[in-house]
Amino acid sequence: MMFVQNLGLLIILLSLINTSYSYPEHRVAFNPRGYIEAINKICIHWYDYHQNEISSECDIPVGGPSSKTSPVWSIGYKLSIHTESGTAHNGPFFWWDGWVNGIYCNDIHIHLKDGGFVIKESFKLAIVYDKCFWE
């Protein structure tokens, strides 16, 4: 019985430790361009330090540059671009505790391929400390 009580106490302590760890906030910038009419939505998926996707935000504007600030518990992100022809994923990208104050610039270029029958997504990621090239 004592073992079960100690195990329960250990689980509670470990869960408290796990939820209290935080990382510096990072800014993730987006620049959707090109054939953006094909984009239904753009989502960012935030990862915790177990590399599990914990939350998503799908309110990224398609019509111009924007950015999001990471939650303090996040160690990285993944993008998903939802288009007429399917969903493309880019990432995940993990910062852990590196690149503090860095901006993750995601240049998202949507263009037609093969006479317009296939939509191709091109991603270009740069980490900068001033501003993204489109800002």
Total count of domains within the chain = 1
User: pTM higher than 0.85 for the full model?
Assistant: no
What is the domain-level CATH number for residue 75?
Answer: 2.60.40.4150
Alpha-carbon gap, residue 121 to 118, rounded angstroms: 10
Strand residues in 22-85 grouped as ranges (E): 27-34, 39-47, 53-57, 66-69, 76-83
For residue 52, being part of any structural domain is answered with yes
Query: What is the token pair recorded at 86?
Result: 């399917």
> Domain range for residue 30?
22-128
Asked if residue 53 is part of any domain, the answer here is: yes
Query: 15 in a domain, yes or no?
Result: no
Mean per-residue pLDDT pooled into runs of 10, the chain (135 residues): 64 58 83 86 94 95 91 92 85 79 83 57 78 85
Q: Has residue 17 been placed in a domain?
A: no
Question: Cα(28)–Cα(35) distance, rounded to whole angstroms?
Answer: 22
